[in-house]
Amino acid sequence: MTVYELNLVANNYFENKKQDYKDKLSLEYYNAMWTIQWLGKKSQQPEPLNKILDNLYKEKEVMTDKQMFEKVKMLNKMFGGEEIIINP
């Protein structure tokens, strides 16, 4: 087997695993929908399945240092922390 053929087999294996995971997730989603329909409230409906599956393998954005610092400041305020500014 050449390196190219091995790469094709590996990519095919990875795609099959992704599809199996999506199938299992879909089954669990529909099971949850039936459970909510019989036991839950209408306000407890989950997001649409297509939206969940589309966002499953998207690349995550990498935050810059400034974005991360702003997020930490926002979370600090949300949880009741205070901002102390120290000027050297």
* Residue pLDDT, tens place only, 64-75: 899 998 998 888
Residue 54 lies in a domain: yes
Residue 79 lies in a domain: no
Residue 78 lies in a domain: no
What is the total count of domains within the chain? 1
* Residue pLDDT, tens place only, 20-75: 999 999 999 888 888 877 776 666 667 788 887 887 777 778 888 999 989 988 88
Q: Domain range spanning residue 34?
A: 3-58
Residue 87 lies in a domain: no
Residue 42 lies in a domain: yes
Query: How many CA atoms, within 13 angstroms, populate the side-chain half-sphere of residue 4?
Result: 0
Tokens of 30: 């529909």
